[in-house]
Structures are given as structure tokens and as C-alpha cells.
Structure 1
């Protein structure tokens, strides 16, 4: 690498000088990635024209971000989230054909190997919060029902916490469920109306949000992973359109197509028909999966 002609470093030719040092033997994708990062990083520095002190502050911020990261807490992912990069990477890697349901970010609170429940079960194990009936259909692009679709769902409780955040307070697998559709593609289960909640904001990323005048909250939502043979796996949410943070999700996860209607059912006949103890929320949302062909 050291014997390659590069010219002398100047403000004007900085990008060319640095990228010229990438060896011909470098793995092609790595060379492409580092070339693009170098070009855009140098362009940003030239536009910003940071002082030496400002650049040192940036280095210190990244250092603090690394120190805050461990096996449980990944502050760099949080930084990616609040910059919209996580959602952009998700969008690039999940381009869907017209008519297919859109994806959004997985989030850090998914739990594998949740026991399967019978269709119609109540996943709210502690009975807290406002009851909510969630139902809909899983369809293909042509509108036909999908048989045997695995539906993995999880959500926060009425206080805005997932079960794994409140070990010993919430029961294990509270507000989590795995279901499988039949030939009609229909799904339905009971949960509790979710609540908005903050992403972790006690570290450098939270300080950055505060400095930018941004809040750390995510609007109320339910998570889904949908898997069926012959179809692309869909990782997505559905959102409460009336949530106060619906237009300012801290991680930019909201898409218009993922807004669901949260109806409060007070009709005594409906309450009796669903064998509910009183008024409940109802959410009806269909999902359309793209096939793998």
C-alpha cells in the first residue's frame, strides 16, 4: 500500500489522497464501502469546517458511546436509531412489491422461543391495563389467505414496559404470544392497550437528543414477526394513530401504512358477544406477505 502514488495531501484533494491508499488486493465490497464513507465524511467535514475543539468533542462523544455499550445495552445501535439510519437500512433491505405490508425495525425486546398459544388466547397474563382485542387476516399479494403462518407478537404493558424490563414484576412472557393461522388466514387474540415509552436516554445518545430539542419517546405499538413457507418474513409494527408521539417517533419507525384504528367498544351486545367483562379496544389489521419467488 505504501508505495502507491498518492500525491501530497491538500484540503482540495483529501478524498483522492486517502482513497488512493486502498490496495488493489482489498476485498471489493470493503473497498467500495470505505471509499464511499471517506468521500461523504470528508465532504461533511469540509461543509461543517469544525474547530479542533469541536472535532475533539465529537471524538469524546463516540468514546462515551462505546463505553456505554455492553451485552445488554448497545448505545451505537441507539445512535443509529435516532439518526434514522436503522430505519433506512431496514427499508433498503426490505423493499416490497406493491400491495405487500411494509416492515419496520425489530427493536431490542424480542424474545425467542415463546410458547405457542391457541388462537384467541389472552396474552395479558397479569390482567392489567385496558383489554384489547386484536384481529385480522394474513394474505398473499392476490388476497388469498395464508395457511400455517406463524405470528409472533409482543408489546408493552399499560405502564410502557416490556416484561424483560420488569423481571419479578411482570410474569414471564407477559404480553407475548405465538399463534398459527388456519386455512382462513384469520388471527385473533387478546392483549392490553399499549402505551408510549422512552428509549434509553441516560447515556450520550440521550444527551444528544436533549441538545437537539428532541424527546426520547416511541408511540404506542404492537410488534409482529410473520413467517410462512414460500413467503418473505415480515418484521413490522402496528401503531396507534392517536398517540401523542405518532408524528415524532424517536427512531422514525412509523409508516403511514402501519397505522391501525384503535376503536373503543362500548356496545353491550358486542361486549357480550366477545365475552368481555366490560368496554374494550378493538384493532383490526390485515397483513399482506410477499412471496419468495
Structure 2
């Protein structure tokens, strides 16, 4: 179709717009954008989008961009609460060969967290709540241990806040990078995390309130497991007794990612109960690469 073809009505705009992109040299970009235009135009026709609604949608996109900064990523948050992030993670990380299920990265991962030794405590200040011992093994899909794998962990505090949200926590609190031993094992100390509300001060919060949805996530620990020659695993492990386990606002909980946060009686001389979490990870062969950090 000629690029100077005149539009003679509403029905003609879609094929003309797609034809205008036909000379895109990147074949994947050409495919993705043609499909995007096709589906967005179909969506507009399907819902009979009004001009006022279009202006409101544009304002929402502008607002989530303006609400994003070095310490908060509203764009990722919006993708999370719409189920987009989880859908991308599940489609790109199948589990047919027994590999561990992936989960969304979320808006709180930071690169270059402290390098720790196995057994270290990632709680770098006094925090209320019970301690938790976390351990497990990293294996490949054939069951062989993966020695030297990096296990990057991060979590919310027992009051449901990440360190970048809480002025009372020190820099990089409840974050750390561990390396598996010769048997592929890792272990560390922490405190039991609490569930928490996603940030609602921005346009995503406005959307959630308009939809009469709660803003809560169930208690969980984030993991990013990597080793050269293996696909980087980004996932989360959820407390089996967590509130909102079946109604995570970002749709992040899958059955295989529910871990046993096992309670134990206080040790002699202590009044504090503690928990253990044992969780193994299975990596698939592939390219080891890392995402862009949502925050600095």
C-alpha cells in the first residue's frame, strides 16, 4: 500500500498505519509494532473509546512516568497490578523440565547488594519480629548441584517495608548476595518478612481504588539465582500461612512458589520463636543476564 494513501474513513486507518511501518529494518520490531497497532485499534473499536477517555488514559501514562524516580518505579508497579509482569514472566519461563517457577522482579530490586558469606545475617539492625533461617540447594534440571551460583536475596522487614522506603533501616538492609558451596547449598539468617501494601500514593493507587481492589502482597522473600551457562532465575518464595496468599495484588503467587515458613519453639533462654525456610532452586541451561534495576 502506498505510504501517501489518503484515509477515507475510520476503517482504513489501521492498515495504513501498519503499512507505514513496513520498512522497519528490525524484523522483530516490525512484527511487534504491527501487532501492537492491530490490537490497540481493535481495543478502541471494541470499547468505543471516547475522546475524554483517551485523554484520561494519556494522562495516566504521563503520570506514571512522572511518578517514577531513582527510589520508586511507578511504571513497573502499574505493570505488576495489571498482571502484565507476571504474564511475561510465566510465558518466558516454562516449567516443563522441572525448573523453578519464575516470578516478577517487582519494583524494589537493587543491583550490587552486599556480598555475604553463607550463614551471615542480612538484618543489619535491630528489627521487631522473629528470626528466620533460610537454606536450600541450587541444582540443574538433571539434579546435579550447581556450585558457585550467586543467590541474590531481598525482602521487606517485619513491618512490611523495604529499606529504601524506611528511614529507620540502614542502607541495603535485608539484602545480600550469597554463593553456593561445592554441594550447591546456601544458607543465611534474616527476620521473617511481613506482607505489605504496594505504594498507593501515585496514579496506580488511584486505579486500584477505582477498581475497589486491596493493595496488599503476601509475605515473601525475593531470590535472583544466577550462574554462567544458566538462565538467570528471578523468583519469590511465599509464606504458606500468609494473609492475602490467594489474592496477591500483583498476581505473583503460583502454587510451586509457596514455601513452608516452619515455626519453632523458642530456644532455651529465649522468649522469641523462630522460623525456618528450606527451598531448593532448579536452573535451566541458557544465557546468564540481569535485568535493569527498577531503582538505584
Give the structure 2 partner of residue 59 of structure 1: 58
User: For the aligned residues, what is the CA RMSD?
Assistant: 2.4
Give the structure 2 partner of residue 219 of structure 1: 218
Give the structure 2 partner of residue 282 of structure 1: 276
Give the structure 2 partner of residue 113 of structure 1: 112
Give the structure 1 partner of residue 285 of structure 2: 291
Residues matched between the structures, number? 286
1:169-215 per-residue CA deviation (whole Å, 9 max, x = no partner) reads 11233222222221222222211110111222111111011101112
CA 62–156 in structure 1, closer or farther in 2 if over 3 Å, else same: same
- Are the counterparts in 1 of residues 161 and 196 from structure 2 also a CA contact under 8 Å? yes
Structure-to-structure mapping, 1:1-293, within 5 angstroms? 4=3, 6=5, 8-24=7-23, 26-128=25-127, 129-167=129-167, 169-266=168-265, 271=267, 278-292=272-286
Listed as ranges, the gaps of 5+ residues in structure 2 are 288-296
For residues 256 and 42 of structure 1, what CA distance do their matches in structure 2 show?
36
- Are the counterparts in 1 of residues 151 and 226 from structure 2 also a CA contact under 8 Å? yes
- TM-fit CA distance, 1:222: 0.4
Listed as ranges, the gaps of 5+ residues in structure 1 are none
CA 197–251 in structure 1, closer or farther in 2 if over 3 Å, else same: same
- TM-fit CA distance, 1:17: 2.7
- TM-fit CA distance, 1:238: 0.4
Q: Which moves more between the two structures, 198-207 or 16-25?
A: 16-25
1:110-133 per-residue CA deviation (whole Å, 9 max, x = no partner) reads 233333222122222223221111
- TM-score computed with the length of structure 2 as normaliser: 0.87
- TM-fit CA distance, 1:228: 2.2
- TM-fit CA distance, 1:160: 0.7
- Are the counterparts in 2 of residues 181 and 187 from structure 1 also a CA contact under 8 Å? yes
- Are the counterparts in 2 of residues 97 and 290 from structure 1 also a CA contact under 8 Å? no
CA 13–283 in structure 1, closer or farther in 2 if over 3 Å, else same: same
CA 97–276 in structure 1, closer or farther in 2 if over 3 Å, else same: farther
